[in-house]
Structure 1
Amino acid sequence: MNIKRLHHVAYRCNDAKQTVEFYQRHLGMDFVLAIAEDRVPSTKAPDPYMHIFLDAGMGNVLAFFELPNSPQMDRDRNTPEWVQHIAMELETMDELLAAKASLEEAGIEVLGPTDHAIFKSIYFHDPNGHRLELATNTASAEDMQRLHEVAPAMLEEWSRTKKAPRHAAWLHQREFS
C-alpha cells in the first residue's frame, strides 16, 4: 500500500452554512464542494445530510456533515476536551500572532501561544465546539531527527509502564537553562 495523503478528514457540524462561513472568514479556507443526499451511499440508510468540503491547503481537505435528523451533536465526555482537535500549520510565528490577533478581534477566545518545544501554537473553538489549533514549527532538522530516533524506544517504554518516558526530556530542559 502506498498512501499518498489524506483524502479528507470529516467531522460533524451543527450548521453547514455557518461552518463554511467561519472557516472562510477566520481561516481563509476555500469552499470546494458540497454533496447532499437523502440516503447514505455506504449503508443505504434514509438519512439526509449535507457534506461540505474545505480546502485546508496543499491538497488537504477538511470536511463536515450536517445531519438534521440525528440527535444534537455532543462530544465524547470520556475524552478530555483538549485531546480531540484539528491542528493546522502556519509558516511563521508572525503569522501565528497575526492569526491570534485577528481571531480575538472577531470576539473568539484564544489560548496561547503555547510552546511545545518543537512548535508553538494557539487554540480556539469553531462554532460547532471543535477545538482548533494553529501551529508553527520551531524545531531544527537535528531536533526532529533525534525525536524520530527515540520514538520507538519511547513507545515501547510507554507501552510497558504508562509513564512518560524521558528520552526527549532534553527538549523541555532548554526552557529552564
Structure 2
Amino acid sequence: MKIEKIHHVAYRCNDAKQTVDWYVNNLNMDFVLAIAEDHVPSTHEPDPYMHVFLDAGNGNVLAFFELPTKPAMGRDENTPPWVQHIAFRVGDRDTLLAFKDQLEANGIDVLGVTDHSIFHSIYFFDPNGHRVELACPDPEEEALMKRLDAVKWDMLEEWSRTKRAPRHAEWLHARELAEIAD
C-alpha cells in the first residue's frame, strides 16, 4: 500500500476569479474546473463556497476555495511568511529567468534567484498572500542529491536531539554565501 501522488493541494483565496486570472496570466496554468455549492459535502454544514482547480502541469492540481460567509483570511502569526509556501518545478534556469522577467513585468516583487545547490529558486506572493516558489534543477542535482541522501537520517537524528542545525550539508548554500561575501 503506497500513496500514488498528490491529487490536489487546496488553499483559501479572497476572490476566486482574481485568483484564477492571476495563476493563468502569471504562471501560465490552465483553469480546469469549478465547483460551487451551498453545503459542504464532507460535513454537510451550510456554507456556500466556490472551489476552483488549476492545472499546474503533469497531473498536479492546485485548488482554491473562496468562502464569502467566513471572516477575512488570516495567517498563522507565529509562523514566518517564508515558511508556508508551495513550490513548482520548472525545466531549467532559462525558464526560471523567463518567469522572473514575466512576473516582474507584471508588477510582482520577486526574490531571487536563490542558489540552493541542488536547485535554484525565485519567490513571490500571490494576490491572497500565499508564498509561491518556482524552482529549477541544478545541473549537478543528481550527484548532490546522493550526497544529501547519505546523511539525511544522521541529520534528522542530530536535529531531534539538539534542535541545532547539523553541519552535514552546510555546503548546500556555500556558493550563495560566497557570492554575498564578494
TM-score band (shorter)?
A: over 0.9
Q: Post-superposition shift, 1:140?
A: 3.0
TM-score (norm 2): 0.93
Distance in 1, Cα, partners of 2:125 & 2:170: 30
Say which SS state the counterpart of residue 54 (structure 1) adopts. strand
Change (3 A) 1:173 1:73: closer
Q: What's 2:65 paired with? A: 65
Q: What's 1:104 paired with? A: 104
Q: What's 1:87 paired with? A: 87
Q: What's 2:49 paired with? A: 49
Matches within 5 A, 1:133-152: 133-138=133-138, 139-152=140-153
Q: Post-superposition shift, 1:135?
A: 0.7
1:164 lines up with 2:165 in the alignment: yes
Q: Post-superposition shift, 1:174?
A: 5.2
Distance in 2, Cα, partners of 1:80 & 1:43: 31
Q: Post-superposition shift, 1:145?
A: 1.1
Q: What's 2:20 paired with? A: 20
Q: Deviations over 1:43-69 (max 9, x none)?
A: 111000001010011110000000000
Answer whether contact 2:7 2:61 (CA < 8 A) is retained: yes
Structure 2: gaps spanning 5 or more residues: none
Say which SS state the counterpart of residue 172 (structure 2) adopts. helix
- Alignment RMSD (CA, Å): 1.3
Q: Which deviates the most, 135-144 or 102-111?
A: 135-144
Q: What's 2:30 paired with? A: 30
Instruction: State percent identity of aligned pairs.
Output: 67
Q: Deviations over 1:53-86 (max 9, x none)?
A: 1001111000000000000001111100000011
Q: Post-superposition shift, 1:172?
A: 3.5
Q: Post-superposition shift, 1:173?
A: 4.0
Distance in 2, Cα, partners of 1:174 & 1:110: 20
Say which SS state the counterpart of residue 154 (structure 1) adopts. helix
Structure 1: gaps spanning 5 or more residues: none
Distance in 2, Cα, partners of 1:18 & 1:174: 38
Matched length = 177
